[in-house]
Amino acid sequence: MSDPELTAPVEDYLKAVYELERTGTAAATNALAERLGVAPASVSGMVRRLADQGFVAHERYRGVRLTDAGRRAALRTLRRHRVIECYLATVLGYPWDRVHAEAERLEHAASDELIDRMAAALGDPAFDPHGAPIPTRDGDVDERRLGTLADVPLGACVRVVRVSDEDGALLRHLAALALIPGADVTLVARAPFDGPLTLQLVGAQVAVSVVAARQVLVEVT
């Protein structure tokens, strides 16, 4: 992971393409525009630049995929972001609903040496506070596919692995329900017409909306 320094917009685009590709398909221009909060025309221009630089491959009407160089650069940025989140939460005591925004600002400025020192001070964590895997210095990362809590069959027992980190209000809500990484959950009831899910946690039953449950990734225990 020793690519040359990139601009913040380039790193943001490559990171967005990586996250969208994780769904199993190429990143569509409209999906990139929505994720980055920019106009589709701006995305088209940046994608052409990234393709010229060898970071993405773009097929018209088929979307954008990272090249090997683009993937290395995206994982380098994700490593910085997630290590910073861990450091803010563990060492500085930031609540988990605030570390994402801070890391977004800091990830482009931190050097690889600083990130490596921060990671070492934390014992080289494998996951950030929201359960997202932290790429290693060499670019290895846990990319297993996970289902969402909203899709769990009735009666199934699952463990929360990861939650979406982009909405602070959602994170505060999930924390209040104890739906955090590592929590063991059983789905005991599903209300009709996209009604709330009733979950059994250790010592308590809670209700969560389908919308929120879609932001919680789980694995069967």
pLDDT tens digits for range 144-195: 999 999 999 999 999 999 999 989 999 999 999 999 999 999 999 999 998 8
Q: Is the Cβ–Cβ distance between 132 and 81 less than 8 Å?
A: no
List of domains in the chain: 1-143 (1.10.10.10), 147-220 (2.30.30.90)
pLDDT of residue 213: 97
> CA distances (Å), 159 to each of 130, 150, 166, 190, in order?
13, 13, 21, 18
- The CA-based angle 151-156-159, given to 5 degrees, is 80
Q: Mean pLDDT score of the chain, rounded to an integer?
A: 94
Q: Bridge-partner residues for 208, per DSSP?
A: 197
Whether 3 has a pLDDT exceeding 60, the answer reads: no
* Cα 132 to chain centroid, rounded: 6
pLDDT of residue 1: 46
Of 68, 67, 105, nearest to 84 by C-alpha is: 105
Whether 15 has a pLDDT exceeding 70, the answer reads: yes
Mean pLDDT of 83-100: 97
Dihedral of CA atoms 171, 182, 218, 25 in degrees, nearest 10, equals 70
pLDDT of residue 150: 96
How far is residue 79's CA from residue 115's CA, in Å, rounded to a whole number? Answer: 8
Q: Is the Cβ–Cβ distance between 86 and 121 less than 8 Å?
A: no
Whether 52 has a pLDDT exceeding 80, the answer reads: yes
Mean pLDDT of 102-124: 96
Confidence of residue 42 (pLDDT cuts 50, 70, 90): very high
